[in-house]
């Protein structure tokens, strides 16, 4: 196999104008020697390659970076020049700190029109179509008066990578100092004006009367007072503006307020590892909050465990009193007292204690005045309700730990409707009787809700086919104790009923069979008519059928059930195909 590879002629014939030659193919022996030399250079046993400038080439650089393409460098010398920025491709970038000059040029202003300037204002830095001045009736080109000043003309800077991303490039620190000085002057003017007003109030005596007034001490002044006018004026300290703003989304309830995500120490046990039961206290991984006690299912006392939930911690200490003090500060601020929990804690605490004392004294005075006027002091001297009802006959059994074993049953759930309400002389409630899909009264079998009770007479009229057993008095009358005469009469009636039943069963044995056959025949005819009606309804469109047209609330009789069984078609019957023949 030849070591050289003939170079093919370029397209179009002739020789390559650049005079570049493709690299010759290496033999297997040369390739092996080259690999061994690279390994020795990486291990440090052989000297590193040197480029044309005499610099060493790092042997650990990958080959796809260090190798020079044949169309770039025909010399085939080892070099990294192709990886460095090429001078002919480099553009001149502006230096850091350079920026566009803006505004009017310093120096003299032109007094006559110059060729090529703006025809409207006369400035040479722009044309008429880019002019920002108001269009004049006669431009500066024709009048030669009121020539506008020229602006700085500077080509766009060619910024490098750092210059494009410099956020302070072009910033003038003198502008910030000018703003600071302006604010300092405004503050000084406010303080001077406030001091003058204070001196005027002290000289006139208004301030002393305002401070010594009892309404000022108790914070009951109206919003129309001088304090509110001063607080709402422009002279108020700007640091207090944040107190007047209602923070949306802030909840000052000590049970649920979470404003800072408390980061735990890594040596502490995580909250979700204290109880691995999935049904234990809920843990919120986003806020790292576990409000309930994780040991509640184990029956441990919260005071004995090291961690009893976030809510238990929030209830401890002065949390509740702190919330009450904050609430008092807001209420006092709304009524005119200039107090703040963080700014004046001592003043707020003294004011809160004084307010509580005065409030208790006011309640006692009001209570005494009412008792003196109406009396009733003897009713207030009775012992507590717990002492009056301490001894009861209710049996309650406790365990050794204090839990209730017996005697604390759950209350019976009552309906929201009125129960056992009797009206119009009825002895039974409405809905105690049901017949033919209607509700009524059991005492008189009346289906009218607002009707008057007629007793047994109404039952006999509404149901003429009822026997004597159905006309028995209601259950409330049965609970009344009977006399000896009534008991004897009931026994005689029972004997007569038994004799009548025995006679009827012996005489009408054949008649009952005939009646049953007649009833069954009528039931078969009715079943055939019903099946025919059902088939007709099934052939109609569902949207044209009436609602509940094949539904009956009446209970079927024995004859009707027997007719249904006889007329019912069974798919497994081998003679079903011959029924219609």
* CA angle, 96 then 100 then 102, to 5°: 145
State the pLDDT at residue 20: 46
Residue 502 and residue 96: Cα distance in Å, rounded? 128
**Is the C-alpha dihedral spanning 95, 98, 100, 106 positive or negative?**
negative
> Residue 221: its pLDDT value, please?
46
DSSP string across 560-573: HHHHHHHH---TT-
Instruction: Determine contact, residues 100/153, Cβ cutoff 8 Å.
Output: no
Please choose, from the candidates 231, 241, 223, the residue with its C-alpha nearest in 3D space to the C-alpha of residue 194: 231
pLDDT at 380: 83
Q: Minimal CA–CA distance to 259: which of 269, 271, 249, 244?
A: 249
Contacts of 97 (CB under 8 A, 6+ apart): 169
3-state secondary structure at position 166: coil
DSSP per position, 182-198: HHHHHHHHHHHHHHHHH
User: What pLDDT shows up at residue 121?
Assistant: 93
pLDDT at 195 (0 to 100): 92
Q: What residue spans define the domains of the chain?
A: 28-85, 109-151, 251-316, 329-381, 420-493, 517-578
**What per-residue confidence (pLDDT) applies to 186?**
95
pLDDT of residue 551: 67
Q: Measure the CA–CA gap between 243 and 344, rounded to whole angstroms.
A: 14
8 A C-beta contact, residue 466 and residue 459:
yes
Distance between CA atoms of residues 532 and 550, nearest Å? 12
CB burial string 58-67: b at 16+ within 10 A, e below: ebeeeeeebe
CB-based contacts of 243-249 (< 8 A; 24+ apart in sequence)? 243/333, 243/340
The pLDDT value recorded for residue 172 is: 81
| β partners of residue 439 | 434
pTM score: 0.24
Overall residue count recorded for the chain in this entry: 581
Residue at token pair 């080109």? 141
pLDDT of residue 481: 67
pLDDT tens digit sequence for 209-219: 555 555 454 44
* Burial status of residue 121 (CB atoms within 10 A of its CB: 0-12, 13-18, 19 or more): buried
| pLDDT of 39 | 92
Output phi, psi for 433, to 5 deg: -130, 140
- In this prediction, residue 240 carries a pLDDT of 46
Three-point CA angle 16, 21, 23, nearest 5°: 150
Q: Which residues contact 169 (CB under 8 A, 6 or more apart)?
A: 96, 97, 99, 159, 163
* pLDDT value of position 464: 66
| Residue from 62, 64, 82 nearest 72 by CA | 82
pLDDT for the residue 141? 92
Enumerate residue ranges in the chain where pLDDT < 50. 1-20, 215, 217-227, 231, 234-236, 238-252, 257, 259-260, 476
Q: 572 forms bridges with which residues in the sheet?
A: none
């Amino acid at each position: 196999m030849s070591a050289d590879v003939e170079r093919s002629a370029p397209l179009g014939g002739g020789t390559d104008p650049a005079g570049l030659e493709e690299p010759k193919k290496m033999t297997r022996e040369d390739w092996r020697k080259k690999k061994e030399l690279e390994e020795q250079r990486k291990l440090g046993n052989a000297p590193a390659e040197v480029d044309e400038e005499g610099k060493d080439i790092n042997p650990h650089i990958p080959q796809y970076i260090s190798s020079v393409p044949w169309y770039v460098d025909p010399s085939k010398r080892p070099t990294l020049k192709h990886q460095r920025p090429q001078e002919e491709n480099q553009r001149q970038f502006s230096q850091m700190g350079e920026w566009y000059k803006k505004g009017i040029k310093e120096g003299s202003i032109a007094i006559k029109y110059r060729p090529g300037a703006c025809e409207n204002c006369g400035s040479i830095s722009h044309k008429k179509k880019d002019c920002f001045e108001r269009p004049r009736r006669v431009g500066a080109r024709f009048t030669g008066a009121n020539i506008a000043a020229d602006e700085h003309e500077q080509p766009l800077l060619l910024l490098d990578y750092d210059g494009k991303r410099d956020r302070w490039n072009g910033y003038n620190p003198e502008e910030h100092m000018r703003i600071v000085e302006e604010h300092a002057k405004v503050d000084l003017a406010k303080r001077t004006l406030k001091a003058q007003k204070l001196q005027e109030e002290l000289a006139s005596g208004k301030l002393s009367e305002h401070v010594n007034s009892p309404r000022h001490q108790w914070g009951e002044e109206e919003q129309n007072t001088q304090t509110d006018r001063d607080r709402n004026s422009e002279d108020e300290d700007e640091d207090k503006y944040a107190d007047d703003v209602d923070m949306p989304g802030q909840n000052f309830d000590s049970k649920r307020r979470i404003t800072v995500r408390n980061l735990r120490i890594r040596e502490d046990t995580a909250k979700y590892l204290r109880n691995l039961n999935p049904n234990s206290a809920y843990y919120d991984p986003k806020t790292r909050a576990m409000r309930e006690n994780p040991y509640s299912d184990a029956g441990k006392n919260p005071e004995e465990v090291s961690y009893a939930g976030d809510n238990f911690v929030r209830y401890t200490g002065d949390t509740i009193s702190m919330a009450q003090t904050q609430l008092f500060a807001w209420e006092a601020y709304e009524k005119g007292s200039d107090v703040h929990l963080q700014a004046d804690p001592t003043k707020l605490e003294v004011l809160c204690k004084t307010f509580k004392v005065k409030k208790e004294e006011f309640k006692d005075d009001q209570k005494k005045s009412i008792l003196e006027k109406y009396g009733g002091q003897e009713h207030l001297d009775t012992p507590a309700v717990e002492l009056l009802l301490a001894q009861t006959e209710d049996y309650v059994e406790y365990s050794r730990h204090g839990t209730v074993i017996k005697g604390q049953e759950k209350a019976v759930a009552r309906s929201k409707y009125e129960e056992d309400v009797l009206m119009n002389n009825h002895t039974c409630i409405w809905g105690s009787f049901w017949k033919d899909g209607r509700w009524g009264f059991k005492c008189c079998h009346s289906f009218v809700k607002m009707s008057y009770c007629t007793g047994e007479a109404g039952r006999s009229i509404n149901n003429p086919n009822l026997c004597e057993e159905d006309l028995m008095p209601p259950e409330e009358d049965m609970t009344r104790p009977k006399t000896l005469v009534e008991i004897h009469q009931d026994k005689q009636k029972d004997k007569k009923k038994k004799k009548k039943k025995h006679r009827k069963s012996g005489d009408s044995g054949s008649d009952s069979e005939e009646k049953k056959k007649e009833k069954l025949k009528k039931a078969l005819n009715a079943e055939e008519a019903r099946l025919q009606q059902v088939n007709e309804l099934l052939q109609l469109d569902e949207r044209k059928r009436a609602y509940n047209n094949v539904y009956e609330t009446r209970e079927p009789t024995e004859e009707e059930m027997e007719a249904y069984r006889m007329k019912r078609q069974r798919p497994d019957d081998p003679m079903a195909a011959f029924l219609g023949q």
